[in-house]
Structure 1
Amino acid sequence: MKTRFFILLSIGILLSGCQLTDNQSTKSAAEKSKLDSKKIVSEFMTAYALHEDFDYFMSFYAENAQVEDVIRGKKVKGKKQIRELFNWHDPKLSLGNSVSAVVVEQITVFENSAVVTGFFMPFVYDGLKFGPWKMTMLLTLNENGKIVEQTDWINYTPKVLFSNDPDSNLTIRVPKYLLK
């Protein structure tokens, strides 16, 4: 009877040890994924800030990625439309005196998504000076570390120049059960 008790106790301890190991493996895998995501987002934002190699910048996006600019009401899908949205090669665009296009103040990572806060540096477009503009960006990465979704909130000014942009609030569908 004592032998059986010790065998069952040993098996129980062994199984609980395995459970602890599995939890620790899962936890360390999640931490590694978070570190990988932060590294990818940091590299993406560095490419964005340097504003030099557009192909490298675009390499961070999945083929069917989606980018939404909430304030301007613009939403594009796929690398071709993303290229057109960003339009880095526009001859009217110049960073002016700024050595960086964007400054990152904080990157907060949650598993496969990240929130980036910072601001766009002053720049010149078609002879007009713009910026700095505060921004918040939400990025979602797929299992390969590519951006599949990007949502931007940028405090554009002067607002009069952007008043003809579509209203992104028009796409909101309020569920009928939330209305009286």
Structure 2
Amino acid sequence: MNPRPSAVTQVVAIGIGAALFFVLGRFAAIPTPIPNTTINIQYALLAVLAVLYGPAVGLLAGLIGHVLIDATGYGIWFSWELATAVFGLLVGLAMLRNHVREGEFGTSTAVRFNLAVIVSHAVAWLLVAPLGDILIYAEPANKVFAQGALAFAANSVTTCVLGTIVLAAYARTRTRTGSLTVGE
């Protein structure tokens, strides 16, 4: 069984994850009719990192990556950056003690991953982001809940589909625990 990722590995994963989150979020976002809301694929990357490297990596890679996106675009919008961090943290917590790094990504793990993604996106985009917008920025509730609902739906679909594909492919590249036998 592979040991838990070292602190150095986690720091590297945070840096690379934040950079990739930024690039995907800044240059691969698909616009929607709702202002300041896009369809994003970077949440699949963030979920994969949270599964493979843990909740701290999910939280920090998401937070740093989202701050970089906002700092080079819309301007810092803390409620949504916090929502991204919460998403990464929750997926990582829900997927603790998985065996994807050991080559195991069966149906039960895939279902667990997809449920973790949907619940984590719901908390992030239906609670944290809109309530933060209302409390911090005095934004109109109907606007921010519409933005949150679209973000929840779009991010859930893209993260479930892409994240499941990436984790399944990754697991197939790993040697399963106990799969090697000594030749006779």
The normalised TM-score by structure 1 is: 0.24
Q: Is the helix fraction higher in 1 or 2? A: 2
Larger Rg: 1
The normalised TM-score by structure 2 is: 0.23
